[in-house]
């Protein structure tokens, strides 16, 4: 528990600096590193069930997603990015055909899942960070995207943290015993409440309309837990407890950022369809 708290104390300030750094490049690089490390953890573990993913192609695709997200407003830059991604798909098939023990469904399926599940979903927080010119939040015109990303991080952390501690000390009713034996209904409800409360507070600070703050807080509180359970389902199939041990108290990179894969994606599309040009 102490390691978990220490990781949060160190990690939150670092994340805030990266998120608000002018221009957003350090944040993009950080998300790219998380994608690469997370995908590497994924590919390493799926080998335990016999899959032989084409790791170099999956990692390259994950990085391509992040680069595309960084430049998504520049249509001319998307053409070479699409060419790179298409080439990776074709080269993956060629590589699989050259193997003596071919299993294209298992091997290419695992390759694609790792790239999409981690690289593609994480790319949405990069796009959200870059939305300052398209979404005005309160008086934070030049940093709206950064504030929205911080909003997502805080709600996700609040959900994970309150669900963990309430579930640990007060949880009695199992939420999904076969997927994640430690999760409880009491912890899940607390996580949802924690997300909504932090959303209300953060929304008031950045002058986000209360209806959107509460709606986003609820959505993120639900999806943070769905993301956690989705990763648990993958780990149960593989037969592992964690994807790694790089982050004390949490496990691997993928164990720490599993909820953000879902919450960041949801927040981006909510912003696109409901928050742009809010008066």
Query: Does 261 lie in the same domain as 183?
Result: yes
Task: State the SS3 of the chain.
Answer: CHHHHHHHHHHHHHHHHHHHCCCCHHHHHHHHHHHHHHHHHHHHHHHHHCCCCCHHHHHHHHHHHHHHHHCCCCHHHHHHHHHHHHHHHHHHHHHHHHCCCCCHHHHHHHHHHHHHHHHHHHHHHHHHHCCCCCCCCCCCHHHHHHHHHHHHHHHHHHHHHHHHHHHHHHCCCEEECCCEEEEEHHHHHHHHHHHHHHHHHHHHHCCCCHHHHHHHHHHHHHHHHHHHHHHHHHHHHHCCCCCCCCECCCECHHHHHHHHHHHHHHHHHHHHHHHCCCC
Statement to judge: residues 216 and 156 lie in one domain: yes
Question: CA-to-CA distance for 69 and 224, rounded, in angstroms?
Answer: 22
- What pLDDT shows up at residue 250? 66
When the pLDDT of each residue in the chain is averaged and rounded to a whole number, the result is 89
Whether residues 82 and 10 fall in one domain: no
Q: How many residues does the chain have?
A: 279
- What the block records as the tokens of 28 is 């993009």
Where is the domain boundary, 129, 156, 180? 129
Q: What is the mean pLDDT of residues 219-229?
A: 97
Is residue 120 situated within a structural domain?
Answer: yes
Q: Is residue 52 part of a domain?
A: yes
- State the pTM of this model: 0.92
151 and 225 inside one domain: yes
Residues 144 and 245 in one domain: yes
Instruction: Determine what percent of the chain is predicted with pLDDT higher than 70.
Output: 89
Spatial distance between the Cα atoms of 219 and 199, rounded to a whole number of angstroms: 10
Residue 279 in this model has a pLDDT that exceeds 70: no
Which pLDDT tens digit goes with each residue over 240-273?
988 987 876 668 899 999 999 999 999 999 998 8
> Does a structural domain hold residue 116?
yes
With beta carbons less than 8 A apart as the criterion, state whether 174 and 181 touch. Answer: yes
User: Is 245 in the same domain as 113?
Assistant: no
Which tens digits make up the pLDDT trace of 134-161?
A: 555 555 555 688 999 999 999 999 999 9
Indicate if 170 and 79 belong to the same structural domain: no
| CA torsion through residues 120, 125, 130, 133, sign | positive
112/150 same-domain check: no
For the stretch 85-104, pLDDT in tens is 899 999 999 999 999 989 99
Q: Indicate whether 197 belongs to any domain.
A: yes
Residue 134 lies in a domain: no
pLDDT greater than 90 at residue 7: no
Average pLDDT over residues 46-71: 95
Q: 147, 251 in Cβ contact below 8 A? A: no
pLDDT at 144: 85
| pLDDT single digits (tens) 32-43 | 999 999 999 999
Residue 58 domain flag: yes
Domain tally, the chain = 2
Cα 99–Cα 100–Cα 101 angle in degrees, nearest 5: 90
190 shares its domain with 259: yes
> Residue 8 falls within a domain, yes or no?
yes
* Range(s) of the domain holding residue 39: 25-129
Q: Please tell me the predicted confidence (pLDDT) of residue 245.
A: 77
Q: Give percent of the chain with pLDDT exceeding 90.
A: 68
Kindly state whether residue 135 falls inside one of the protein's structural domains.
Answer: no
Q: Where among 75, 95, 129 does a domain terminate?
A: 129
Using the predicted structure, report yes or no on whether residue 178 has a pLDDT greater than 60.
yes
Domain boundary, last residue among 129, 164, 198? 129
Q: Which of 35-49, 192-206, 231-245 has the lowest mean pLDDT?
A: 231-245
Q: Judge if 264 and 149 occupy the same domain.
A: yes
Asked if residue 275 and residue 258 are part of one domain, the reply reads yes
Question: Do the bridges between strand 174-176 and strand 180-184 make them parallel or antiparallel, or are there none, so unpaired?
Answer: antiparallel
Same domain, 86 and 173: no
């Amino acid at each position: 528990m102490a390691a978990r708290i220490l990781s949060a104390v160190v990690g939150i300030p670092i994340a805030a600096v990266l998120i608000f750094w002018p221009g957003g490049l350090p944040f993009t690089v950080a998300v790219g590193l998380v994608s690469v490390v997370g995908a590497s953890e994924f590919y390493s573990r799926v080998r335990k069930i016999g899959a032989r993913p084409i790791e170099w192609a999956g990692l390259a695709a994950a990085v391509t997603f992040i680069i595309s997200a960084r430049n998504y407003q520049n249509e001319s830059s998307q053409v070479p990015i699409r060419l790179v991604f298409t080439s990776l798909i074709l080269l993956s098939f060629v590589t699989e055909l050259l193997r003596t023990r071919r299993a294209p469904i298992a091997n290419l399926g695992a390759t694609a899942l790792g790239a999409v599940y981690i690289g593609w979903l994480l790319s949405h927080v990069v796009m959200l960070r870059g939305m300052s010119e398209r979404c005005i939040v309160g008086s934070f015109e030049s940093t709206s995207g950064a504030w929205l990303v911080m909003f997502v991080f805080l709600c996700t952390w609040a959900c994970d943290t309150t669900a963990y501690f309430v579930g640990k000390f007060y949880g009695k009713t199992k939420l999904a015993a076969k997927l994640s034996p430690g999760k409880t209904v009491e912890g899940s409800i607390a996580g949802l409440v924690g997300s909504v409360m932090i959303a209300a507070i953060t929304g008031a600070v950045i002058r986000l309309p209360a209806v959107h703050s509460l709606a986003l807080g609820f959505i993120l509180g639900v999806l943070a837990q769905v993301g956690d359970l989705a990763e648990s389902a993958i780990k149960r199939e593989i037969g592992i407890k964690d994807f790694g041990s790089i982050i004390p108290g949490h496990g691997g990179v993928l164990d720490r950022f599993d909820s953000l894969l879902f919450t960041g994606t949801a927040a981006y599309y909510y912003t696109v369809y409901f928050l742009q040009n809010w008066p």
